[in-house]
């Protein structure tokens, strides 16, 4: 009977594979949060949609004017008003927005206002972007 020999990786190759596997597992939650943060507010390409918020379909109003863009978009989720405001207070300054009051931000000739409404345990966020 003929004996079949299987490839047997070296100890170095096994250690490297194990290390890479552990590194991949440890970075998976971060990768998932990056994918979640890849969504943007409807009508924009630069205002992230907070993970847990879902856009409300057919509620957007989007205009391009000579003075700049006007966007009104809505999203809903089961979260607190505080968590939404904290998310945007942390996130928007990293994208060049400056705080201009509670739920208001300015950047390069634009103003972004966040208005939050609680209804039946669900929070609705109105994003209003306009020229300043």
pLDDT digits (tens), the chain, 132 positions: 555 555 555 666 555 555 555 555 445 544 443 344 469 999 999 999 999 999 998 888 998 989 999 999 999 999 999 999 999 999 999 999 999 999 999 999 999 999 999 988 899 999 999 999
pLDDT of residue 31: 41
Structure-token match 């507010």, residue found: 41
Dihedral sign from CA coordinates of 73, 116, 56, 51 = positive
Structure-token match 């209804």, residue found: 119
Structure-token match 């705080």, residue found: 99
pLDDT of residue 119: 86
Q: Which of 37, 77, 36, 35 is nearest to 56 (CA)?
A: 77
Query: Where are the domains positioned within the chain?
Result: 40-131
pLDDT of residue 89: 97
Give DSSP secondary structure letters for 4-47: PPPP---HHHHHHHHHHHHHHHHHHHHHHHHHHTT-B-TT-SSS
Tokens representing 51 are 């993970």
Alpha carbon distance, N-terminus to C-terminus of the chain: 84
pLDDT of residue 29: 47
> What is the rounded CA–CA span in Å between residue 14 and residue 49?
41
> What is the rounded CA–CA span in Å between residue 93 and residue 130?
18
122-131 and 110-119: which strand pairing?
antiparallel
40-131: CATH, from 3.30.70, 1.10.3470, 3.40.470, 3.30.1370 = 3.30.1370
């Amino acid at each position: 009977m003929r004996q079949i020999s299987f490839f047997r990786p070296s100890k170095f190759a096994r250690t490297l594979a194990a290390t890479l596997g552990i590194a991949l597992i440890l970075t998976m939650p971060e990768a998932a949060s990056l994918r979640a943060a890849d969504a943007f507010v409807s009508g924009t390409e630069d205002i992230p949609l907070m993970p847990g918020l879902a856009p409300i379909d057919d509620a957007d109003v989007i205009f391009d004017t000579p003075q700049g863009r006007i966007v009104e978009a809505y999203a809903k989720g089961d979260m607190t008003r505080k968590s939404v405001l904290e998310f945007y207070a942390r996130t928007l300054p990293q994208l060049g927005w400056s705080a201009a009051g509670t739920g208001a931000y300015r950047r390069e000739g634009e103003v972004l206002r966040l208005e939050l409404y609680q209804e039946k345990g669900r929070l609705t966020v109105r994003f209003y972007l306009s020229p300043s």
